[in-house]
Structure 1
Amino acid sequence: MTRFLTPLALCTAMAFAASASAELLLYEPFGYTAGADLVGQNGGTGFTGAWRDGAAGGGIIQAGSLPAPAGVPTAGGHAMLSGAAGTYQVYRDFTNIEGADGETTWISWIAQRQGDSIPTPDPTYGDNPYPRGVNAGFFNTEHPTRPERVGIGNSSNATENEWSIIPEGSGGLREGSGVPWDEMHWAVMRLDHHGDINTPDDAYLWLDPDPNVEPDIMNALASSVGVVDFSGLDFIRPFVGNESSGRPAGQMVIDEIRVGTTYADMSAVPEPAALCLAGLAACGLVGRRRR
């Protein structure tokens, strides 16, 4: 009997470790073969289908994870998205995140706006050398008026180059952080839900917060409070604009997409099922050695 105590304890420890990330709803580490097209890839956890609808060659997997703050685990590669051959939009579906009254949804990823620029200041686009929209948005396909609910990045024709919250994909509702969008950061967005689709919610954005300490909304770099509803999210869509009217095509690298219900989920060890399988395998190995 005693020979099974050590493996049993190990398996139990694995189970508790996995439970810590039980609220991690979505995770995309882009752990695919370098050079592969993003469309058709179906890894990660929590999604209901593969990446779809993007133009061929617009999204390519690159080797290695993008840099993250200490304490934020990374795995796999990352994606390079380009609008050079035309506006690039790629989608991935997931089970509806209701966002009921009193609930909170946390979203994070690592990203950076890249690509060609225009000289600044510009008479139309001010101090923004990247006036073509590049962002990643979350949609509610059942919304009666505007499916796109909220995104992070920057809008087309913005006069500032800055990481922003973009409610409804609208440049007129955009709330900027003042931090250049062409700087790479770990972006974390908090959505506080206050009712159904008829009740506006609140969004807060931080860049590279301490993963061990939940950030205070008073210290958010950008916020959208009481403007639009962010409930019922059911797919993500990165958007990279093409060359248009003298605005160079956009480009973006993106990695480590996480969606959860707590701040701890933003730095959680993903794929608890894999951890359990590893634990069971370890239990079997230990038990076998003791025979």
Structure 2
Amino acid sequence: MARGLNVGVAVLGLSLCVPFVASGRVLYEGFGYQAGAPLAGQNGGAGPWVTPWMSSPPFVSPTIDVPGLSYSHNAELLTTPGAARSDAAAFGLSMNRLFTPDHGTNGTSLWISFLAQIDTPTSGNAYVLLAFPGGPPNVPGIAISITRFGFNDTFLRAALAPYAGGGSGGVAATTPIAFGETALLVARIDYRAGPDLVSLWLNPGLDVLPGTADITLNTLDLNVAPPSQLLRFEQGNNRASFIDEIRLGGTFEEVTPLVPGPSAISVVLIGGMWAARRRRVAR
């Protein structure tokens, strides 16, 4: 099914400037901060964020890398300059940020997307993950990641796995991700009575709604307690790794806004001129 018109514009104002209009249910972090600045303490993005990004000792803060990551597949993802970059964090790096949750009700869905990239490690583990942490004793969390599963693997895989708070299972996609390749991960959590369904698409086309997911996980009851108010990302590698363009929303279109094409801009401009003409006639 083709997606609806999604050009990232405000028609009435004829503005072609923002990644999306923050509606309260859309959360966005594009890491549009000064190049080289530490991420810790930064408080940008859009949507119902509550705190700046926070790191915990002994973890160090990633820094802002410009121009950041980009992605296109039949259409181009709308991005802003900047990405969170970690170097030589072989022991792992963890960043947290609190937000006001608007998800977790049975019968609803939450869409999540982000870009990730990992340079070739010299040895050992390598991963970038985005997580809703769970908590003891029996509140499971979920992690969405690209991961090097074997220390000698020459590629990465996309994966879903429990994250803190218990739970079992975990599944990885079979499609390899090359080191140095930017991957778009799009996940959907379908909240329901009992275990919820988490679906993950790796590098989906942006011109249509996604079809069958690459992997699914249905062993975790993620809303057994009030929904997580904490969003966390982790990076582990002994070379550079990146995360960028984090979005949470209610639909696929909300978490994959597109760069407006010429035809879409023409529609907006024609509509604006017609509206202006009508205003002049009305006078």
Q: Same fold (TM over 0.5)?
A: yes
CA drift at 1:153? 2.6
Distance change >3 Å, CA 203–CA 240, structure 1 → 2: same
**CA RMSD, 1 decimal:** 3.5
1:24 deviates by 5.0
**Superposed CA offset, 1:229-277 (max 9, x none):** 2331322211234xxxxxx64642011000001111012379xxxxxxx
Note if 1:154 corresponds to 2:147: yes
Alignment match, 1:190: 188
* Contact 2:94–2:234, Cα closer than 8 Å, also in 1: yes
User: Counterpart of 2:7?
Assistant: none
- Cα displacement (A) at 1:155: 7.4
Given residue 177 of structure 1, which amino acid in structure 2 is its aligned partner?
A: A
Residues 146 and 82 of structure 1, relative CA distance in 2, 3 Å threshold: farther
Percent identity (aligned): 28
Correspondence 1:233-248 to 2 at 5 A: 233-241=228-236
Deviation at 1:159, TM superposition (A): 8.6
The aligned length equals 239
Classify 1:64/1:205 alpha carbon distance in 2 versus 1 (closer, same or farther; 3 Å). Answer: same
1:178-207 deviations in whole A, cap 9, x for unaligned? 233433211101111103xxx210111112
Q: Deviations over 1:117-154 (max 9, x none)?
A: 43xxxxxxxxxxx535542212256x752453333233
- 1:39 Cα deviation after fit: 0.6
Instruction: Report the equivalent of 1:268.
Output: 257
Distance 1:164 1:171 in 2: 15
Q: Which residue of 1 aligns with 2:62?
A: 59
Equivalent residue for 1:279?
none
Question: Larger radius of gyration, structure 1 or 2?
Answer: 1
**Structure 1 80/12 Cα, relative in aligned 2: closer, same or farther at 3 Å?**
closer
User: Does the Cα contact within 8 Å between 2:69 and 2:115 map onto a contact in 1?
Assistant: yes
Change (3 A) 1:106 1:266: same
Normalized per residue, the structure richer in helix is 1
Per-residue CA deviations over 1:60-83 (Å, capped at 9, x if unaligned) read 100113121133100121111245
Aligned to 1:30: 31
Contiguous gaps of at least 5 residues in structure 1: 1-8, 119-129, 242-247, 271-285
Task: Name the counterpart of 2:273.
Answer: none
Quote how far apart the aligned CAs of 1:45 are: 1.1
Out of 253-262 and 19-28, give the one that drifted further: 19-28
CA contact (8 A) 1:23 1:262 kept: no
Amino acid at match of 1:25: V
Q: Secondary structure at the match of 2:46?
A: coil
Is 1:177 the counterpart of 2:187? The answer is no
* Correspondent of 1:230 among 222, 237, 242: 222
TM superposition outliers: structure 1 runs of 4+ over 6 Å: 17-21, 155-160
Equivalent position amino acid for 1:102 in 2: G
